[in-house]
Amino acid sequence: MTGYATHANKIFFNYGVGSQIVTSDALIDEKYPNYVGAVSYESLLGHAGVLTVRVGKWGDYGDYKGKGQNQRYTDSGLNRLYGTIPTRIDQRERPQVNGSLTYFKDGWAGNHSFKFGGELQHEQQSFTTSVVNNLWLYLTNNVPTFVEVYLSPNFTRIVGRDTGAYANDTWTLNKRVTLNLGVRYDLQFPFTDPQDRKLAFVNASVDRRTTSSDRVTKPASPYVVQAGSVIPAALITGLRSDLPGQITAQVTENVYDTPTGRSLLISQGARLIGSYDSQVAFGQSRALLVWTRLILPNGRSIVLERQPGADTAGNAGLEDEVDNHWRQLFKAAALSTLLGAATEIGSNGNDNDIIRALRRGAGDTLNQAGQQVVRRNLNIQPTLTIRPGFPVRVIVNRDLILEPYRG
């Protein structure tokens, strides 16, 4: 078992901010203490296994302390900065743990070194800011222009987590050929804190109104398709999320006015024009689309103001075919393995130091190139495809004032 710990502290007194001319009370004292600590444990498991566990923590602390308690203001015309800078405390810490189990096996068509491991990392950042009088004034040549109002002290906390697991096999076929085979899975959580969001929801400001100020109103027109109505249609053009583009659809049923249901407002055969979101997140299977224009068979039209598109069940977006590009990823992984093994082919114990050094350098370069190829393929977003003829619905979220349809 081994362990180590380090600590450092940087201090800057009377530090100026930017290139502005500052008064003495506009200076700031800065402190940056930080620390790193870790403990590593290794143990032999019989004659063919090694267990390794590492636990560590990294921390960083920033203290920005203004001088005095004077009102803060900036004059952009004179390029001057006055008053006490907001006091800010930044704190970051990152505990993490990782471990691995290595098992050596001979006789399975060569020698194997199996390695299984995982890691967990949790990072937390918090910021506290205080502003004198909760105001920051802005002037231009001594003439006030605007004011920033702060809620002091302001506290912000964000949290992120990363987890990973991997399995690797270093397979030595003979003295000349060694294959490195492996797979790794990483899961990253964004810098958010779900518990803070829930607390903010619970502690939201109280609405003490017991009576609504709104009153029932008449329809804006007898010929209106009101919010909540559904316009059935089918796609004329297909959708493929590799590139942004436009889509068109055709209304498949007549649509009548909402108040009475007697007046035909949108005839079957009307055209819908829309667009879709080509940015697809990993794991996403539905394409998001909006409708921007409705063209009636008689040539008259209306702007739809990005009415959302949905499937026949009313779910947002459309889902048809999804291509996660697994084939390209497997090809890249195989290429990476071949590049890593290429430099081992032809090697023997009689190589001199120069040849071994050249072979090692070439192997490192090819291994990095293979990793870059795999990483590039991992960054390819899934491709969503919606075929022509797919049923779609327009969910009306604003009242559409139309006129009786006359062909």
In DSSP terms, 138 is beta-bridged to: 74, 146
Pair (256, 275) in one structural domain: yes
Please indicate, yes or no, if residue 215 is contained in any of the structural domains. no
DSSP state of 81: E
Domain end point (choices 163, 181, 198): 198
Pair (45, 180) in one structural domain: yes
pLDDT of residue 2: 87
How far apart, in whole angstroms, are the C-alpha atoms of residue 204 and residue 402?
A: 41
pLDDT of residue 76: 80
Helix (H, G, I), strand (E, B) or coil at 350: coil
Structure tokens at 208: 């003490």
Q: Which residues contact 298 (CB under 8 A, 6 or more apart)?
A: 267, 405, 406, 407
What range does the domain containing 348 cover? 326-378
Pair (75, 107) in one structural domain: yes
DSSP state of 213: S
Please indicate, yes or no, if residue 212 is contained in any of the structural domains. no
Contact call for residues 112 and 171 (beta carbons, < 8 A): yes
Pair (174, 278) in one structural domain: no
Please indicate, yes or no, if residue 76 is contained in any of the structural domains. yes
CATH number at residue 310: 2.40.128.260
Cα angle vertex 299, ends 297, 303, to 5°? 100
pLDDT of residue 269: 94
Helix (H, G, I), strand (E, B) or coil at 253: coil
Residue 270, amino acid = A
pLDDT of residue 123: 83
pLDDT of residue 343: 54
Pair (15, 157) in one structural domain: yes
Pair (291, 387) in one structural domain: yes
pLDDT of residue 24: 67
Stretches in the chain below the pLDDT threshold 50: none
Pair (126, 61) in one structural domain: yes
Q: How many CA atoms lie within 13 A of 162 on its CB side?
A: 10
Residue 42, amino acid = E
Pair (96, 128) in one structural domain: yes
Please indicate, yes or no, if residue 255 is contained in any of the structural domains. yes
pLDDT of residue 62: 78
CA proximity to 218, closest of 259, 248, 264: 259
Please indicate, yes or no, if residue 213 is contained in any of the structural domains. no
pLDDT of residue 205: 66
How far apart, in whole angstroms, are the C-alpha atoms of residue 269 and residue 265?
A: 12
Pair (166, 302) in one structural domain: no
Please indicate, yes or no, if residue 250 is contained in any of the structural domains. yes
pLDDT of residue 253: 94
Please indicate, yes or no, if residue 214 is contained in any of the structural domains. no
DSSP state of 174: S
State the DSSP H helix or E strand holding residue 358, giving kind and residue range, or none if neither.
helix 353-378
Contact call for residues 395 and 308 (beta carbons, < 8 A): yes
pLDDT of residue 202: 64
Q: Give pLDDT tens digits for 352-371.
A: 656 666 666 666 666 666 66
pLDDT of residue 45: 85
CA proximity to 275, closest of 263, 261, 287: 287
pLDDT of residue 215: 85
How far apart, in whole angstroms, are the C-alpha atoms of residue 127 and residue 132?
A: 17
Peptide bond into 153 cis (omega under 30): yes
How far apart, in whole angstroms, are the C-alpha atoms of residue 29 and residue 141?
A: 28
Pair (304, 345) in one structural domain: no
pTM above 0.85, yes or no: no
106 to each of 43, 59, 337, 369, how far by Cα in Å? 21, 44, 21, 30
Pair (309, 369) in one structural domain: no
Number of domain units in the chain? 3
Pair (21, 140) in one structural domain: yes
Please indicate, yes or no, if residue 209 is contained in any of the structural domains. no
